[in-house]
Structures are given as structure tokens and as C-alpha cells.
């Protein structure tokens, strides 16, 4: 095997105490002559030193392997994208649109990538900034989507939207999703948005249960600045990949634009994105199939 990736960070499910998959991955890497970096708990459980902080792993690693579902991958990759380290996603969850390597084939396919047989899939991210009374109060990054959503009261929210300082629309809806192409198979898909091939340079705007059926999803250029002003609501929340959130008040402005760093995902050379769609969405099944 080549030593293209001499230092590899390995992450598992955040709250899982099952470290056996991480042990298998670590042993594979060590056997191939590579240094393995783990966070404190798994490192101590596997007797692989004291472990490292997430920032230390990002700074030291040439490659990061993430074992878990898409949620685990999103949580790690968006916080570490600024280190410009490539990622491998091992699917231990259910759907697995970005963690595309099955856990039962991880040894074979990680070995293939480590031997140099892979291609790089580059995904854009969104950065969101929340402005209140002219001051920034919150900032975060999303791999899938930034979403302004109604709160527990159940009332609709009203927003005005501009793109590159040009007024676009006013909408009343349960929410508004700003999605990357990666996120087009996530929340955006469930509310009727289009599926976008991951390398297409665009951003999606998708209303959630709009009051007017005339408010439809729209695809705009990736380099757009989107500004969402909340003009009326009972309560609302700003979400990033449905993981991190911030309370929203009337008058808040949410600015969404491309994040300067990208997530680089390594796939085995035979990987086919359309195979993933066929398997996860059952595209090959006809109504008469049993």
C-alpha cells in the first residue's frame, strides 16, 4: 500500500460505547503503517493512548474516517471542513446518502482507497449568519441545509427573501429551507424539492407547507447571497443541518452564502452516485414488484 495518508483521524457515533468498529478500522490502519488519531474515550477504551481533541485531529490528519450514519458524518465534517482534510464515510445508519460505504464492506473499501484507488467528490457548504438589530448574534455552517422553521406554537412564519440584494418574494409557510445539492436528498426532498447531482453549482430555496401554492422551490446560482428577513411569527427557530439551532425573533435577518471551504469525500473508484439513489429510493422497483 502507498502511504498517501500517513496520519488518519477516526470518529464514531458520538454517544456510542460500541468501539468494536473503530478497533477494526484502527487495526487496519496500524497494520498498513499509518498513525491513528482518536478522541479521548475511544482511544482509552481501545488502549491507543490518551486521545486527542477534535481540533488536534483536524490539524494533524491527512484523512478522516467517520463511522456512523449521515447525521454523524454531517456533525463531524461541517465542523472540520476548514481543515481541508478529505473524509471517508462508513454507513452504520439507515439511509446513508453521504456515508455510502456499507459497514460490512468497510475493510475492503477502505483498503482500496488507501491503496490509491479512489476518486474525490467535492461538496459545497453553506454559511449562515443571524443578524439582530444590526449585530451578528449567531453563525454556523451546514452541509445539507439552513432552515428557518416555525416553533412549538404551530403558527406559520412570514418572511421576505432577497437574492443578491434583489427582492425575490414574501412568503407565509411553516418554514423555508436553503439547501445545498447534498441536502437535496435530505429535508428538502421530503417537502417536494428536486434532487440535484452533488457537483452541480447551485443552491435551492424550498418553502415548507407554504400558505400559497404559488410559492414553489427554486434553484439559484451557488454564489448567491440569500437574505431572509422574518417579518411575522409566533415563534421560530434557525437550524443548521437540523443539529444546531438558534432562536429567531421578528426582525431578524438570516444571511446564507457559500462557505469558503468544501467537504471532500473519498469514494472507491467504482462508486456510482446513481447506484446510491437506486438502492436508497428503490428506483429499480416497479409497482408490480414484490
* Residues 159-173: tens digit of each pLDDT: 999 999 999 999 999
So what's the pLDDT on residue 213?
A: 84
Res 45 pLDDT > 90: yes
> What's the mean pLDDT in 232-254?
96
So what's the pLDDT on residue 151?
A: 87
Confidence of residue 152 (pLDDT cuts 50, 70, 90): confident
So what's the pLDDT on residue 290?
A: 59
Mean pLDDT of the chain: 93
| Greatest distance between any 2 Cα atoms in the chain | 60
Residue 235, class by beta-carbon neighbours within 10 Å (0-12 exposed, 13-18 middle, 19+ buried)?
A: middle
Res 93 pLDDT > 90: no
So what's the pLDDT on residue 7?
A: 97
Which residues does the annotation mark as catalytic? 70
The helix (H) or strand (E) run that includes residue 232 is strand 226-232
110-124, 140-154, 275-289: least confidently modelled range: 275-289
Res 2 pLDDT > 70: no
Give the pTM. 0.93
Confidence of residue 271 (pLDDT cuts 50, 70, 90): confident
Confidence of residue 133 (pLDDT cuts 50, 70, 90): very high
Confidence of residue 75 (pLDDT cuts 50, 70, 90): very high
So what's the pLDDT on residue 1?
A: 42
**Bridge-partner residues for 88, per DSSP?**
65
So what's the pLDDT on residue 54?
A: 93
Amino acid at each position: 500500500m502507498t502511504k498517501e495518508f500517513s496520519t488518519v483521524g477516526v470518529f464514531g457515533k458520538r454517544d456510542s460505547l460500541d468501539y468494536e468498529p473503530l478497533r477494526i478500522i484502527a487495526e487496519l490502519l496500524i497494520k498498513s503503517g499509518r498513525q491513528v488519531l482518536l478522541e479521548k474515550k475511544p482511544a482509552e477504551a481501545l488502549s491507543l493512548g490518551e486521545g486527542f481533541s477534535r481540533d488536534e485531529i483536524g490539524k494533524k490528519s491527512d484523512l478522516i474516517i467517520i463511522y456512523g450514519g449521515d447525521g454523524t458524518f454531517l456533525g463531524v465534517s461541517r465542523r472540520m471542513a476548514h481543515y481541508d482534510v478529505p473524509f471517508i464515510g462508513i454507513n452504520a445508519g439507515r439511509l446513508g446518502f453521504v456515508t455510502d460505504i456499507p459497514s460490512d464492506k468497510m475493510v475492503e473499501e477502505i483498503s482500496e482507497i488507501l491503496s490509491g484507488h479512489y476518486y474525490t467528490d467535492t461538496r459545497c457548504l453553506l454559511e449562515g449568519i443571524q443578524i439582530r438589530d444590526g449585530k451578528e448574534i449567531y453563525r454556523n455552517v451546514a452541509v445539507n441545509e439552513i432552515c428557518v422553521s416555525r416553533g412549538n406554537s404551530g403558527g406559520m412564519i412570514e418572511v421576505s427573501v432577497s437574492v443578491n440584494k434583489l427582492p425575490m418574494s414574501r412568503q407565509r409557510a411553516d418554514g423555508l429551507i436553503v439547501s445545498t445539492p447534498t441536502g437535496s436528498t435530505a429535508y428538502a426532498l421530503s417537502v417536494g424539492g428536486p434532487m440535484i447531482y452533488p457537483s452541480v453549482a447551485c443552491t435551492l430555496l424550498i418553502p415548507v407547507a407554504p400558505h400559497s401554492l404559488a410559492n414553489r422551490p427554486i434553484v439559484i446560482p451557488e454564489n448567491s447571497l440569500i437574505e431572509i428577513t422574518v417579518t411575522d411569527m409566533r415563534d421560530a427557530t434557525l437550524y443548521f443541518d437540523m443539529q444546531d439551532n438558534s432562536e429567531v425573533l421578528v426582525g431578524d435577518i438570516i444571511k446564507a452564502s457559500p462557505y469558503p471551504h468544501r467537504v471532500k469525500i473519498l469514494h472507491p473508484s467504482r462508486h456510482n452516485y446513481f447506484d446510491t439513489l437506486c438502492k436508497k429510493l428503490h428506483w429499480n422497483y416497479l409497482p408490480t414488484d414484490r
